[in-house]
Structure 1
Amino acid sequence: MFVPLEMNCSTPIHHINTIRKHVSRAKGGRFGKLVSDRGATLVSLILSDVVGDDLSVIASGPTYKDNTTVQEAIDLLNRYKIWDEVPESIQNYLISGVESLDREQVREVPPRVHNYLIGNNMKALQAAQAVAEQAGLSTMILTSQNSGEAKVVAKCVMGIAKEIQDSENPLSPPVALIMGGEMIVTFNWEDRDVFGPNREFVLSSAIEIAGRSNIVVAAADTDGEDGQGKAGAIADGDTVLRSTLDARYYLDKHDAEIFFDALNDSLEFTSNTNVNDIVVVLVGPK
Structure 2
Amino acid sequence: MTRANAQDLLLTMFRAAISAADPRDVLTPYLPEKPEGRIIVVGAGKASAAMARAVEAAWPDVDMTGAVVVPYGHGAPTSRISVLEAAHPVPDRAGLATANTLMELASGARQGDLVLALISGGGSALLPCPQPPLTFEDEVAINRRLLRSGLAIDDMNKIRRRMSVIKGGGLARAAAPARVVTLAISDVPGDDPAAIASGPTIPDPSASEDLSTLAAALGDGLPEGFLSLLAAPDVERDTGPADVRLIATPQMALDAAAATADLSNVHPVLLGDALEGEARELGRVMAGVARSVAAHGVPSRPPAALISGGETTVTIGAGTPGRGGRNTEFLLSLALELDGAKGIYAIAGDTDGIDGSEDAAGAIISPDTLRDMRRAGIDPTAALAAHDSYSAFDAIGALIKTGPTLTNVNDFRVILITD
TM-score by shorter chain over 0.5: yes
Identity %: 33
1:26-83 C-alpha deviation (Å, 9 max, x unpaired): 2212222332x32x2111011112112222222121222223237735x257433557
Aligned ranges for residues 158-237 of structure 1 at < 5 Å? Answer: 158-229=287-358, 230-237=360-367
Distance 1:69 1:212, change over 3 A: closer
| Structure 1 counterpart of 2:238 | 107
Q: Would you say the 8 A contact 1:53–1:120 is kept in 2?
A: yes
Number of residue pairs the alignment of both structures matches = 274
| Structure 1 counterpart of 2:382 | 249
Alignment partners' CA distance in 2, 1:52 and 1:26: 23
Q: Decide which of 277, 282, 286 is 2:416's aligned counterpart.
A: 282
1:178-216 C-alpha deviation (Å, 9 max, x unpaired): 011011122225322322121011112212223322211
Where does structure 2 lack aligned partners over 5 or more consecutive residues? 1-139
TM-score (norm 2): 0.60
- Say yes or no: does 1:273 pair with 2:407: yes
- Say yes or no: does 1:19 pair with 2:159: yes
Distance 1:19 1:158, change over 3 A: closer
Amino acid at match of 2:400: L
SS at match of 1:251: helix
Amino acid at match of 2:148: N
Distance 1:83 1:258, change over 3 A: closer
Q: Would you say the 8 A contact 2:347–2:413 is kept in 1?
A: yes
Q: Would you say the 8 A contact 1:137–1:175 is kept in 2?
A: yes
1:207-238 C-alpha deviation (Å, 9 max, x unpaired): 22233222111100111111232221111111
Amino acid at match of 1:151: R
Please report how far the alpha carbon of residue 92 of structure 1 lies from its aligned counterpart in structure 2 after TM superposition: 9.7
Give the stretch that moved more between structures: 52-61 or 130-139. 52-61
Distance 1:108 1:83, change over 3 A: farther
SS at match of 1:69: coil
Amino acid at match of 2:216: R
- Say yes or no: does 1:4 pair with 2:134: no
Q: Would you say the 8 A contact 1:210–1:236 is kept in 2?
A: no
SS at match of 1:72: coil
Alignment partners' CA distance in 2, 1:138 and 1:77: 41
Q: Would you say the 8 A contact 1:22–1:70 is kept in 2?
A: no
Aligned ranges for residues 52-201 of structure 1 at < 5 Å? Answer: 52-69=190-207, 72-73=210-211, 75=212, 78-81=215-218, 84-86=221-223, 90-91=225-226, 94=229, 98=232, 104-110=235-241, 113-201=242-330
TM-score (norm 1): 0.86
Give the stretch that moved more between structures: 152-161 or 135-144. 152-161
Amino acid at match of 1:21: R
Structure 1 runs of 4+ off > 6 angstroms? none
SS at match of 2:347: strand
Amino acid at match of 1:246: D
Alignment partners' CA distance in 2, 1:138 and 1:98: 51
Amino acid at match of 1:19: I
Amino acid at match of 1:30: G
1:116-153 C-alpha deviation (Å, 9 max, x unpaired): 11212111111111111111111101121111211221
Q: Would you say the 8 A contact 2:148–2:314 is kept in 1?
A: no
1:80-128 C-alpha deviation (Å, 9 max, x unpaired): 3557443x7x559849x949xxx65332333xx4111121211111111
Where does structure 1 lack aligned partners over 5 or more consecutive residues? none
Give the stretch that moved more between structures: 275-284 or 25-34. 25-34
Q: Would you say the 8 A contact 2:151–2:313 is kept in 1?
A: no
Amino acid at match of 2:366: D
Alignment partners' CA distance in 1, 2:272 and 2:380: 27
Q: Decide which of 397, 400, 413 is 1:264's aligned counterpart.
A: 397
SS at match of 1:218: strand
SS at match of 1:57: helix
Alignment partners' CA distance in 2, 1:118 and 1:61: 16
Alignment partners' CA distance in 1, 2:338 and 2:270: 20
Alignment partners' CA distance in 1, 2:196 and 2:163: 16
1:139-176 C-alpha deviation (Å, 9 max, x unpaired): 10112111121122112212221221212122111111
| Structure 2 counterpart of 1:28 | 168
Amino acid at match of 1:166: A
